[in-house]
Structure 1
Amino acid sequence: MSRFNSIDDVWVFLNSIPLFQKAGVSAVNYSLDNISKFCEALGNPQKEYPAIHVAGTNGKGTTCHLLEKIYSDAGYNTGLFISPHLIRYNERVRVNQREITDQDLLRFFQRTETLLDDIKLSYFEISTALAFWYFADQKVDIAIIETGLGGRLDSTNIISPEVSVITSIGMDHQSILGDTIEEITAEKAGIIKPDTPLVIGNVTGVSKRILEATALQKNSKCYAVIDLKPEWNNGSVTLKDGDVQIKTLFKEAVNKWNVVSSWLVIDVLKSSFPINEAQRILSIEKFTGAPGRFEKIHSDYEWFFSGSHNAQALESSLQAVQAIKSISETVLVFSAMKDKLNEDMLEYFKGFKKAYFVEQDGERAAKFSDIKDSLDVELMEETQKENILNELKTELVIFMGSFYFYPIVKRWTANVS
């Protein structure tokens, strides 16, 4: 008898597997061996449709969502694989902007039950295999695949994409990717495939040189967003010396790079997937943003959520805050993972009118004791949060520090009226 008789059985199984969010590095299988064997036994579904492969320290999620919207609006059947999920597991796998259903999830686990026993996969590897299978099952025209960590040994890196994208490179996940920017760049560059175009986003200096050298070695033509001369002006993005003007709903200036990255991908693939300029501009202008990226988290109050958890993203979010009101007039509510905390990161949490810290569950989660001596901050406990949030209704509030904080904030703010 199958152990997957209902979707509840799937959740029990997934919850039994270590999750990077809580267990950290021990939950990661940084190798392609098991995912390759698993997908081969499934018939290599990842080979049945064209794909776009997107890596990067920041911006890859937004770029993936942008590409999904543009291609979907243009009438193509799209697949989107992203991580982590913010509220529910189904968010990770989408077809035509709709999450995979519980019924289709159950179907996958029933189909692969024996395989899952024979080949032990990590949580992320299971999610990757699910996405590859579902996109083939749904006969998508094009899939947008976001890496999890790095690129070279990321489980998504068994695909042969039509184009590779590296949105940005910064110091992140050093315990897995390396302690220097050169090492991290080399890991990201691992998604570059022979004779396959490469789109380079907001990448400069030694990182850009490494990417270009890797592409040259693999005979992969490079397209750099800087060549389109993107400019930002209060949400509007202009390209090509002002020849193209796009009025976006974005709050953060860094999104000009994500807009141009997606624009270049459309250009690179235009012979196979044509989309006229007016159509793609309209899609970008109507794009409401990827969840958790400087998202207005409450309809009635000036409360925003940003999953920023590294220097590049934190700086971008603070600039967006300052465009509304000064930091000294803004209230911060933040949470973080212990492996992200350092003196440089803590600098971004200073200077606010008031700062609150929230502890999360799990081994990776930072505790109040880790930061209380370095910051002028108060611990917000569950028993206090209702009163504190009610007091903050008239304030500009930024919730930030970790995407894993998102479901907590969503739950809180849903109960504030």
Structure 2
Amino acid sequence: MHYLLEYLYSLERKGVKLGLDPTRQLLKRCRNPHQDLPIVQIAGTNGKGSTAAITARILQSHCQKVGLFTSPHLCRFNERIRIDGSPIDDSYIIQWLDEHKGDLEDVSATYFEVTTVMALSYFKDHRVDVAVLETGLGGRLDATTAVSPTWTALTPIDLDHMDLLGDTVRAIAREKAGILKPGVPCYSVPQPSWVREVIQSEADRVGAPVTFLREEAAVPLPLRLPGRHQHTNAKLAWRLARSILGGDFIQEVAREAVETTAWPGRYQQLGDHPRVIYDVAHNPHGMTAFLDTLAGESVKGRKRLVLALQQGRKAEQMLDMLLPRFDTVILTQTGIRSFYSAADLAELAGTSHPGIRVERDTVSAIEGAVGEAEKEDLVAILGSHYLGPAVAKVFKISFDIL
């Protein structure tokens, strides 16, 4: 691996640092690539990546050159930064790091701050028509909020990252609503009343026109993204695209774009006979959406689960939700320090489920579950983006191509 790529990946050890000043300083040193760039910023608890991907797909279908910045990646860093669906090249990453390494060190930039500014530089250098940015964590103090968006959007808001954003939904909603800007239109999915109150209050305070979506009959189901929650994401993306494109929006073109959008790790089918599903749901709200979609499956055989979970995200609640729905459960781990070890996860699960076992090696856990499954069984691989490398290895797939 090139030493500059190793340097980039080493920045992950700095962890999360909320605040806008380092990003603003780095943007300035990189000649403010965000200026004069039409930007969509999307925040929320779940559905940000899917909404961003569907929005980008609709815009591309209308002959727009679209930059897409999402996180985290499933297997390769390059997945985070795309133009018209294609990941950034290693050559650009190396060139950019070579030019700006001194700047990164001067401002003590974190991994996410660096990747945000790199993405904006890439989009500016390649003259995209629109950049779609997924907020990383929260909103108010996230690196993506250092830019000046032309449109903003809010996906469903619920509990997540409570150690950093607050321990109530209201507190988290205030952080997410921090992306609102004076005069910049914001579109939101329907929210619980207490979340809506927080968003409306912040919108009134800063002078941002906010629209809470109602039913839009014309919006099709995203056929490659199963689940009612994905239809909600599609409706938000549809409304965003209509606002961006104005009179150039063509309903039939947008319909085909929605129906053909693919976004890996979202109830992604990896195999049939047995049916194998990979989903990155990692908090109670996401698990509820996953289980709602699973309930629509007609499974004649056994349901098997491979699960890894991150600490601090109501793991016990998620275990209570998941365990009764599966016949066998293999608890595993990602190797990321913020995750439960398989043994600790088993301790949380207790002895109430007779079908639980522990397998520390993720590849072996997946291979074991799939290998033991009968043709009529369903295997779910669940709990994290960070299971991506093991999934890619076992099924010999790439997440580069959408």
TM-score w.r.t. the length of structure 1 is 0.88
Q: Secondary structure of 1:338's match?
A: coil
| Deviation readout 1:166-215 (Å, 9 max, x if unpaired) | 11100000011011111100100100000010101142211111111211
Cα 1:247–1:27 shift into 2, 3 Å: closer
8 Å CA contact 2:47–2:155 kept in 1: the answer is: yes
2:3 is matched with: 9
Cα 1:350–1:388 shift into 2, 3 Å: closer
Q: Give the alignment partner of residue 329 of structure 1, picking from 302, 306, 310.
A: 302
Q: Does 1:113 align with 2:101?
A: yes
Judge which range, 322-331 or 349-358, deviates more: 322-331
2:373 is matched with: 392
Query: Structure 2: where are the runs of 5+ without partners?
Result: 398-402
Distance 1:91 1:73 in 2: 20
8 Å CA contact 1:223–1:264 kept in 2: the answer is: no
User: 1:127 deviation in Å?
Assistant: 0.3
| Deviation readout 1:222-277 (Å, 9 max, x if unpaired) | 2212x2x2xxxxxxxxx34xx55556333211111101101111222233x72211
8 Å CA contact 2:139–2:179 kept in 1: the answer is: yes
Q: Give the alignment partner of residue 250 of structure 1, picking from 203, 225, 239.
A: 225
User: 1:155 deviation in Å?
Assistant: 0.3
Identity %: 26
2:337 is matched with: 363
2:167 is matched with: 179
Q: Secondary structure of 1:305's match?
A: strand
Judge which range, 310-319 or 325-334, deviates more: 325-334
8 Å CA contact 1:328–1:353 kept in 2: the answer is: no
Q: Does 1:296 align with 2:290?
A: no
1:344 is matched with: 317
Distance 2:5 2:272 in 1: 31
Q: Give the alignment partner of residue 164 of structure 1, picking from 125, 139, 152.
A: 152
Q: Give the alignment partner of residue 141 of structure 1, picking from 129, 139, 147.
A: 129
Distance 1:184 1:247 in 2: 28
Distance 2:364 2:336 in 1: 21
How well do the aligned residues superpose, as a CA RMSD in angstroms?
A: 2.0
| Deviation readout 1:349-406 (Å, 9 max, x if unpaired) | 2121111111221321212332324243211243954454311252211110111112
1:406 is matched with: 388
8 Å CA contact 2:38–2:130 kept in 1: the answer is: yes
Query: Structure 1: where are the runs of 5+ without partners?
Result: 1-6, 20-25, 230-238
- List aligned pairs for 1:59-138, cutoff 5 A: 59-138=47-126
Q: Secondary structure of 2:228's match?
A: coil
Distance 1:355 1:202 in 2: 34
8 Å CA contact 1:321–1:327 kept in 2: the answer is: no
Q: Give the alignment partner of residue 32 of structure 1, picking from 12, 15, 20.
A: 20
Letter aligned with residue 391 of structure 2 = V
Q: Secondary structure of 2:281's match?
A: coil
8 Å CA contact 1:297–1:410 kept in 2: the answer is: no
Distance 2:387 2:47 in 1: 19
Distance 2:302 2:272 in 1: 20
Distance 2:301 2:323 in 1: 9
Letter aligned with residue 356 of structure 1 = I
Letter aligned with residue 404 of structure 1 = Y
User: 1:342 deviation in Å?
Assistant: 3.3
Distance 2:225 2:384 in 1: 20
8 Å CA contact 1:185–1:211 kept in 2: the answer is: yes
1:378 is matched with: 357
Letter aligned with residue 297 of structure 1 = L
Q: Give the alignment partner of residue 265 of structure 1, picking from 230, 240, 243.
A: 240
8 Å CA contact 2:220–2:231 kept in 1: the answer is: no
1:278 is matched with: 252
1:236 is matched with: none
8 Å CA contact 1:68–1:78 kept in 2: the answer is: yes
TM-score w.r.t. the length of structure 2 is 0.91
User: 1:410 deviation in Å?
Assistant: 2.3
User: 1:137 deviation in Å?
Assistant: 0.5
Letter aligned with residue 403 of structure 1 = H
